[in-house]
């Protein structure tokens, strides 16, 4: 086929995509709509894989048995474990997941994000250069960077690992079974002991003892005589 203009280039690309999708369907992969998937590299699939519409695969990607890729996902140079579900609107690059993980919607896994089995990464969560062990959860509105998270950890909504001081990156270590409350900042380098609980709204810059509750909050104050500002006429 000649490609002397943009229209012919698009037609040639679509023909190539059809061949790639047909080959995967012959292997048993299911597509919600074979015409709405782009494979811009090498995609390897296990048994009983399902791929929904508007999925884009770039570089070298592998999907384990029984994985489910829901709509509008971009996956680049990543390995997705068996039984894992990628909910809509996720961006995954240079990452690895174990088996039976759940990711998204609206999650981002950046390079060197490594998830073990049964890990949950929820909506509006970003993971970068971090390892997360079996059964841990980061469910809502959080940034985890340069961090090692143990097994069975719950990271509350709005948690941030403060890994960059303007010049250098430092690591955070969270032990097995720890519970991180909502709205917490973990200022690296810092270590949270196994089974520790961090109270919501805390800024933690020193080691937190294993099995104990650690809080770091400013004293709450109510000002008398204060009035809310009003708009000028």
Query: How big is the CA angle at 86 (ends 161 and 105), to the nearest 5 degrees?
Result: 60
Residue position matching structure tokens 């909050």: 217
Q: What string of DSSP letters covers the chain?
A: ----SHHHHHHHHHHHHHHHHHHHHHTT-EES-TTSEEEEEEEEE-TT-EE-TTEEEEEEEEE-TT-EE-SS-EEES-EE-TT-EE-SS-EEES-B--TT-EE-SS-EE-TT-EE-TT-EEEET-EEES-EE-TT-EEEES-EEESEEE-TT-EE-TT-EEE-B-SS-B--EEE-TT-EE-TT-EEESSEEE-TT-EE-TT-EE-SPBPTTSEE---PPP---TT--------
Name the active-site residue from 36, 40, 96, 140: 140
What is the rounded distance in angstroms from the CA atom of residue 223 to the CA atom of residue 68? 53
Question: Does residue 140 carry a catalytic annotation?
Answer: yes
The residues assigned a catalytic role are: 140
């Amino acid at each position: 086929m000649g490609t002397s203009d943009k229209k012919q280039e698009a037609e040639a690309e679509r023909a190539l995509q059809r061949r790639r999708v047909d080959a995967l369907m012959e292997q048993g992969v299911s597509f919600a709509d074979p015409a709405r998937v782009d494979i811009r590299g090498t995609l390897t699939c296990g048994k009983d894989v399902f791929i929904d519409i508007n999925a884009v695969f770039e570089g070298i990607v592998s999907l384990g048995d029984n994985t489910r890729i829901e709509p509008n996902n971009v996956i680049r140079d990543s390995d997705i474990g068996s039984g894992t579900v990628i909910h809509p609107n996720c961006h995954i690059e240079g990452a690895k997941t174990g088996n039976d993980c759940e990711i998204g919607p609206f999650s981002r896994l950046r390079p060197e994000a490594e998830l073990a089995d049964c890990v949950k990464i929820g909506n509006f969560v970003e993971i970068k250069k971090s390892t997360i062990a079996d059964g841990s959860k980061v469910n809502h509105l959080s940034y985890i960077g340069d961090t090692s998270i143990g097994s069975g950890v719950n990271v509350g909504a709005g948690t941030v690992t403060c890994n960059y001081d303007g010049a250098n990156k430092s690591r955070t270590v969270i032990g097995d079974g720890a519970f991180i409350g909502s709205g917490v900042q973990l200022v690296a380098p810092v270590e949270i002991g196994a089974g520790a609980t961090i109270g919501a709204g805390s800024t933690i810059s020193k080691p937190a003892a294993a099995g104990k509750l650690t809080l770091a909050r400013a004293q709450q104050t109510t000002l008398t005589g204060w009035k809310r500002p009003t708009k000028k006429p």
